[in-house]
């Protein structure tokens, strides 16, 4: 049989698919440690009823904890909101709505990350 010309149009490579897939898995591994650790600290090793501004300020006086919380915040929101985007891809088939809601997810996710990071960097403000 002579050389076959593929019947399929050439398509640009879709790197986002790969990036998203790898990111979800790598962030998942980090988040398992970060999230379960955070939960253990807040709810098991400490009583959540003892939580107050002083408690947070004491933790954040240690730079290590601020970095921990920043990683938890950034990775957690990214993993979670990318997950939202994935669920969106499954259920919203209208192309316009899909794009619009995708942007909403991106904007809300970024906004929350910025708000959280500012708070971590700024620290507890005593009234």
Partner 1 sequence: MVSEGLRSVIEVARYRGRFGQLQWALHRLSGLGVVLFLSLHVIDTATVYFAPSAYTFFVSLYKNPFFGLLEIGLAAAVIYHAMNGLRLVIMDFWPALWEKQPQARFLVWISFAVLWVPTAAVMFRNIVLHVIK
Partner 2 sequence: MELTLRIRRFNPETDTKPHWEEYTIDADPDQKLLDALLYVKDHLDGTLTLRKSCAQGICGSDAMRINGQNGLACRVLIKQVNTPVISIEPLYGLPLIKDLVVDMEPFWKWYRAIMPWLVNDEPAPEKERLQSAEQLARYDDSTKCILCAACTTSCPPFWANGNNYVGPASIVQAHRFIFDSRDRATAERLNIMGQAFGVWKCRTVYNCTEACPRGIRITEHIGEVKRAISLGMPKE
Q: Point out which residues bind partner 2 (CB under 8 A).
A: 3-4, 6-8, 10-11, 13-14, 17-18, 20-22, 86, 89-91, 93
- Least Cα distance to 34 among 64, 56, 9, 5 occurs for 64
Binder among 37, 39, 104, 110 for partner 1 (CB under 8 A): 39
Neighbours of 31 (CB within 10 A): 19
Closest distance of CB 99 from partner 1, Å: 15
Q: Tell me: does residue 92 bind partner 1 (CB under 8 A).
A: yes
- Least Cα distance to 103 among 76, 81, 77, 74 occurs for 81
Binder among 5, 14, 93, 96 for partner 1 (CB under 8 A): 93
Integer Cα distance of 41 and 47 in angstroms: 9
Residues, the chain, total?
Answer: 127
DSSP 61: T
Name the residues that contact partner 1, by CB under 8 A.
25, 28-29, 31-32, 35-36, 39-40, 43-44, 47-49, 51-53, 56-57, 73, 76-77, 80-81, 83-84, 87, 90-94, 97, 108, 112, 115-116, 118-119, 122-127
């Amino acid at each position: 049989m002579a050389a076959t010309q593929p019947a399929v149009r050439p398509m640009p490579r879709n790197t986002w698919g790969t990036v998203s897939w790898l990111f979800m898995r790598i962030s998942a591994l980090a988040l398992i440690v970060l999230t379960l650790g955070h939960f253990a600290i807040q709810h098991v090793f400490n009583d959540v009823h003892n939580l107050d501004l002083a408690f947070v300020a004491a933790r954040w006086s240690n730079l290590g904890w601020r970095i921990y919380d920043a990683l938890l915040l950034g990775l957690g929101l990214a993993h979670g909101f990318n997950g939202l985007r994935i669920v969106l891809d499954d259920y919203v088939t209208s192309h316009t709505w899909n794009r619009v809601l995708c942007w909403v997810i991106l904007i809300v996710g970024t906004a929350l990350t910025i708000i959280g990071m500012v708070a971590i960097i700024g620290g507890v403000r005593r009234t």
